[in-house]
Chain A
Amino acid sequence: MIHQSAGVKKGLIAPVLKGAIGIIAGFFFATTAFAASYELLNVSYDPTRELYRAYNEAFQKHYKAQTGNEVIIKQSHGGSGGQARSVIDGLDADVVTLALAYDIDAIAEKTKKLPADWQTRLKNNSAPYTSTIVFLVRAGNPKKIKDWDDLTRSDIKVITPDPKTSGGARWNYLAAWGYGLKKFGNEDKTREFVKAIFKNVPVLDSGARGSTNTFVRRGIGDVLLAWENEAFLAIDELGKDQFEIVVPSLSILAEPTVAWVDQVTEKKKTTEVAKAYLEYLYSKEGQTIAAKNYYRPRDPDVAKSFENQFPKVSLITIDEVFGGWHAAQKKHFADGGEFDRIYQPSK
């Protein structure tokens, strides 16, 4: 008797449980129901949100016209270093479009999900667009900030994100360092110079967009060290009457790099579409979208037609001044590196 009743119960529970699991699973996986089309996850850095929103739409149309296939592109944005960390920890990015080559190197090194020579697979060192670092100041430039030297003044508050998590912040820091090296000609004085700038930094956000908001929305600081595209966008969104761009006498050529992540795309069978997605960034349409979003295009024709949009800046490169990203990362941003010695959070 007892056995029988237990049996009846068991017979009831199993289908109920199966049904419940089915319902829950259906709910969870409802979004991936488009089996016929491709889905790409683009893990990117903070300020590229507007760029990739426009580009994804263009690429979807282009890809559909060319192959007849649908492609859905999902975006993830955050500080470049933090995003690389997520990919290392298992975020299944088909493509990574990060702020600098080192962050993709880190993924290649730590996970072997893409080959070490990934940067040679696409044109221009896998950097389809470039940018640089400029100053964004409040309208009328009330504090008369003209160049890097002004950032060391005691009456100036400088806003920049955290170089440990943000790519833009690392470019900011290296641009300042490059200027110091050129001006003083030796490292000790340069270190003092960069230290003096960071003494004026009241808060480090984790990503470039966070810093922009600290400066433009919360009204903190006198100058924002920003990606050129980020500075232009802030002016576009919030008004020319509020902010203006100051171009320093020397800045750095920032090369945000892109790559497909072989191990992920092979598993998801998206290698072809991921490659096409990144290659199309170099097309006339891709380059034009980049330029419209204030990234400097590589294509000479597109560059020519947007010539007046970008200020002329003399630029140093990471290779000639710092011996490439690996050397720069190791010397400046690794634990116990130059940055750790320079920066103490202000009390």
Chain B
Amino acid sequence: MMQKTSFANESLWVKRAGILITLGFLAVFIVLPLYTIFSEAFRSGVAVYKKAVTSPEVLSSIRLTLTVALVCVPINTIFGTLLAWSIAKYSFRGKKALTTLIELPFAVSPVIAGLMFVLLFGAHGGLGRWLQSMDIKIVFALPGIILATTFVTFPFIARTLIPLMESLGNDDEEAALTLGASGLQTFFKITLSNIKWGLLYGIILTNARAIGEYGAVAVVSGLIRGETTTLPLTIGFLFDEYAFSAAFAAASLLTLLAFVTLILKSAMERRLKASD
């Protein structure tokens, strides 16, 4: 009896401590910073907040950030899935090298990634000179920002899907093919349905990084205010200009964007679960 109670007590104690530590950690690392952002944003009142988030500069940077995410996430979704599919389902020469190469954008610093594109597409780069003669602008304009963002977010989807696809194996697909399904049917009905959770997670990660990327974008953007400055860059500028309320107001928008992504994800999860 004694032993059982003490065991139960200890278990309860451990449980409580565990929950307490987790909650404390969450409070310090997530809730508190979030609270700071919003309280700082509203410190000078709602009117100041409203003025800050509707300023042309902030509005244009929201538009730019969303444009970049809207282009970059689908591109990476398609190519990331394709890449994961090729690597997980087929074997070919150089597969190992390719798998390593996917990780490159994570391995190099975003600033280096940005510089790479400036060197390649800038006025003195090999491609840049030719593009300039055609009057096509890549760096210091939207295409450069999209390129750099796509580059730094490229690995998320492929890296999430490859282990998943490998663990699933080819059995389901082979069965479908044997039963007379076409290749595309097999992909959409079998493969995609098997990997949808992983894919969704990859998309969320890609989007989060795409709207938040700073270093690579700072280098390729040319920092033209209200034109090539994404929301994170604008936040940095406002902060540097002692416009703290405006900086935090813009930061709260970026945070809200992240929330919207998470809400979309939960909604989609619920729908997918319902359809299962």
Contact = CB atoms under 8 A, between A and B. Distances in A.
Main DSSP-derived SS at the B contact region: loop
Contacts of A91: 139-140, 222
Interface stretch (A73-81, A176-184, A190-198): A73-81
A86 B140 contact: yes
Interface of A: 24, 27-28, 31, 41, 43, 49-50, 74-78, 86, 88-92, 111, 209-210, 213, 233, 237-238
B242 A31 contact: no
Interface string B203-235: 000000000000000000011111100000000
B123 A111 contact: yes
A329 B119 CA distance: 24
A92 B140 contact: yes
B67 interface: yes
B241 interface: yes
B223 A237 contact: no
B142 interface: yes
Interface residues of B, number: 24
Given A92-B137, A210-B240, 8 more contacts: A31-B227, A41-B224, A49-B241, A77-B237, A86-B140, A91-B139, A92-B140, A233-B242
B132 interface: yes
B122 interface: yes
Interface of B: 60, 67, 71, 118, 122-124, 128, 132, 137, 139-140, 142, 222-227, 237, 239-242
B224 A89 contact: no
Contacts of B239: 213
Contacts of B237: 49, 77
9 contacts: A31-B60, A50-B241, A74-B224, A74-B225, A86-B222, A88-B123, A90-B122, A91-B139, A111-B123
Contacts of B128: 89-90
A27 B140 CA distance: 17
Contact of B67 (A27, A41, A88, A92): A27
A24 B71 CA distance: 9
A131 B71 CA distance: 45
Main DSSP-derived SS at the A contact region: helix
Contacts of A49: 237, 240-241
Contacts of A74: 224-227
B122 A89 contact: yes
Contact of A89 (B67, B118, B223, B226): B118
A72 to B, nearest CB: 9
Contact of A76 (B118, B225, B240): B225
Contacts of B241: 49-50
A30 to B, nearest CB: 8
User: Which one of A27, A43, A91 has the highest number of Cβ atoms from chain B below 10 Å of its Cβ?
Assistant: A91
A90 B224 contact: no
A2 to B, nearest CB: 16
A213 B122 contact: no
A77 B242 contact: no
Nearest to A217: B239
Given A50-B241, A210-B240, A238-B242, A90 B140 contact: yes
B165 to A, nearest CB: 29
Given A49-B241, A90-B123, A210-B240, A77 B223 contact: yes
Nearest to B144: A90
B223 A28 contact: no
Nearest to A90: B123
B132 A90 contact: yes
Contacts of A238: 242
A59 B242 CA distance: 24
B118 to A, nearest CB: 5
B78 to A, nearest CB: 14
B123 A89 contact: yes
Nearest to A75: B225
A43 B118 CA distance: 17
A61 B91 CA distance: 67
Nearest to A72: B226
Contacts of A50: 241
